[in-house]
Amino acid sequence: MTKETDIKITEVALRDGSHAISHQYTVEQVTAAAKALDDARVPYIEVAHGDGLGGSSLQYGFSKTDEFKLIEAAVSATDFSKIAVLLLPGIGTIEDLKEAAALGANMARVATHVTEADVSEQHLQTAKELGMETVGFLMMSHMVSAEKLVEQAKLMESYGADTVYVVDSAGAFLPHQVKERIKALREALSVNIGFHGHNNLSLAMGNTLAAIEEGATRIDGSIRCLGAGAGNTQTEVLIGVLDRMEIETGIDLYKIMDVAEDIIAPILQKPQEIDRDSLTLGYAGVYSSFLLHANRAAEKFSVESRDILIELGKREIIGGQEDMIIDVAAELAETNKTSV
């Protein structure tokens, strides 16, 4: 178990939660949330389009508000909390990163598919040069062995990452698998180890605690479970659990509960729960942000969203291949026609 005060929380609802509300955050919502999270003493608040800097597009979904205005608003609303941004190389650019830093973002979280850490080199190095805290984010970590994960994590460490995350993008991990991977990284790396979970199999909290038990010290949470799929590890619940375990995070439990109830709950378009489709995401090992895209494709082609997600899982489709959702839906519709 980690020592007290070792656990630092990054609140991701203002980025990962963007998926759940179709990237419709307003300046007013982000300002209110960031100010309240700052008052609750949350160390890091991630702000960006759901797919990171530069994500506002036809393929990933257009933002209601320019993400740099949201970043600027969050920076202006905070005194204690540091503002983090996510960047996926190939979606976001070095120039996007520089603009975010100029606006006051303090942390760069550079995300790649778990086998593609090599594309993060220039982005991590640039973030270092900009004076930002650097995080390597290995998405869809469930798709590779612990040995392969270590190989990719060591690349990110060599590029200057201060922290490397095991990212359960699909919410597909089981606790023993998380423990195996966190332990392997802890033994192989000298930098901080982080964990980002999704709740599609109702295991986000269990997986997070398993990660902490094996030495992860940087943990992501989404307040009110506001995140892609069935959401992430629920921040206010996590703070209560860690407090019961006498693990100090520095976050005020009552205040974070109030943020969840009074500020974030009204933003939710519907309660974050494990429904048929989000369960299928975890079962099939499919990227959580695919959920809304799959639902829209299912309606357009009159097929079941579950069938789309299962087929995406079989094909091992990963983030950045959102265009395949339409292709799969069209193929399923055609197959249904010919089988009638």
Let me know: does 199 contact 225? Beta carbons within 8 Å: yes
**Which residue numbers belong to the known binding site for substrate?**
15-16, 169, 196, 287
- What is the spatial distance between Cα 217 and Cα 234, in angstroms, rounded to a whole number? 17
Let me know: does 143 contact 312? Beta carbons within 8 Å: no
Residue 20: strand, helix, or coil:
helix
Q: What is the dihedral of CA 39, 40, 45, 49, to 10 degrees?
A: -80
Pairing state between β 82-87 and 218-221: unpaired
**Which residue numbers belong to the known binding site?**
15-16, 169, 196, 198, 287
Q: Which of 19, 23, 49, 293 is catalytic?
A: 19
Let me know: does 219 contact 195? Beta carbons within 8 Å: yes
**Which residue numbers belong to the known binding site for Mn(2+)?**
16, 196, 198
- What is the spatial distance between Cα 221 and Cα 14, in angstroms, rounded to a whole number? 11
In three-state form (DSSP H/G/I as H, E/B as E, the rest C), the secondary structure along 83-143 is EEEEECECCECHHHHHHHHHCCCCEEEEEEECCCHHHHHHHHHHHHHCCCEEEEEEECHHH
Q: Which residues contact 96 (CB under 8 A, 6 or more apart)?
A: 53, 54, 87
Give Cα separations from 93 to 86, 151, 279 (angstroms).
11, 25, 33
Concerning whether 142 is annotated as a catalytic residue, the answer is no
Give Cα separations from 67 to 14, 55, 74, 199 (angstroms).
10, 9, 11, 26
> Per DSSP, what are the bridge partners of residue 57?
61
- What is the spatial distance between Cα 202 and Cα 274, in angstroms, rounded to a whole number? 7
Structure tokens at 36: 């309240």
Query: Mind telling me the catalytic residues?
Result: 19
